Structure 1
Amino acid sequence: MKIKVERVNKKIELPQYQHYGEDAGLDLHSAEELTIKSGEYKLIKTGLKIAVPQGYAAFVYPRSGLALKKGVTVLNADGVIDSGYRGEVGVILINHGENNFEINVNDRIAQLIIQKVNIIEWEEVENLTESQRGEGGFGHTGVKHSKEK
């Protein structure tokens, strides 16, 4: 699949797979040099604009290495980039770690995954069909409740 990309900042690397053909996500790079203090979050520019085709969306996911080693993750994971958006891609990072997190230009800060999305139409009904689960929600499956003993 080809995605049109415009580099707002020509020094920024295009998103790329670290292991082509094996990785789901392309690494997004920072177009800025900044510090995120412990407990702070910031919007980081990527220096890129992309044209996601209709019927698809781009999703910004955290990098597992940053989360594990630094406590840094994407605040609004999964960040959604709609097919009609043509502005610069930004990544909201939050620092849950104990130390300040330094970002340099072209540091890998998140990953981008392009996925097909379904366009839906609602069909309103008076009652939904029954299911085995029913109305059991949050943490319901696999847990015996006092009534089930």
Structure 2
Amino acid sequence: MTEIKFKRAEGNSDLPLPAYATAGAAGMDLRAFLPDGPLTFEHGQLELVSTGFHVEIPMGTEMQVRPRSGMALKHKFIIPNSPGTVDCDYRGIVMVGLYYLGKDPFTINHGERIAQAVFAEYRHLPVVEVEELSDTDRGAGGFGSTGVK
């Protein structure tokens, strides 16, 4: 059985382990580790918020840190590098970059759910330099080249 291992950061004695909120949830909730008290955001403020946990994930797996829809749509927070990738060989504390787009100050409290983690397998492929690439119907068409309908 494949496992995701979490180790508590120093001072984190009370946060629950990251967990799936429902049986069908793709992402497990990550919480704010704010032992020194709440963090109030002003418009345009960017903060790196600790989850209070180190993680060990299986080789060939990444942990994607993504916004929670409630934080994004209701409270106007984005994760600027979304999805953020935690590599399988990283052992530091999992952090979440939060950027606040709202107008009025907004406070996040210790233990509140701030992001979600989705795990995905990946593979390393050989890199080859070539003179030509194969043709496709799309070709080099970039952003918006296939239209909206």
Same-fold status (TM-score > 0.5): yes
Structure (1 or 2) with the larger CA radius of gyration: 1
Stretches of structure 1 lacking an aligned partner (at least 5 in a row)? 144-149
- Aligned-pair distance for 1:142? 2.6
1:14 aligned onto 2:17: yes
1:4 aligned onto 2:5: yes
Q: How far apart, in 1, do the equivalents of 2:135 and 2:91 lie?
A: 43
What SS does the corresponding residue of 2:102 show, helix, strand or coil? Answer: coil
Render the CA deviation track for 1:75-129: whole Å, top value 9, x for unaligned. Answer: 2111110011000000000110112121111100000011101112112211011
1:142 aligned onto 2:147: yes
- Please give the residue correspondences for 1:97-108 in structure 2 after superposition, counting only pairs within 5 Å: 97-108=102-113
From 51, 62, 66, the counterpart of 1:46: 51
Q: How far apart, in 1, do the equivalents of 2:93 and 2:132 lie?
A: 44
From 122, 125, 140, the counterpart of 2:127: 122
CA RMSD in angstroms comes to: 1.1
1:69 aligned onto 2:74: yes
Equivalent residue number for residue 25 of structure 1 = 27
Equivalent residue number for residue 87 of structure 1 = 92
When the two structures are superposed, what TM-score results if normalisation uses the length of structure 1? 0.91
Aligned-residue identity in percent: 40
Runs of 4+ in 1 over 6 A off after TM superposition: none
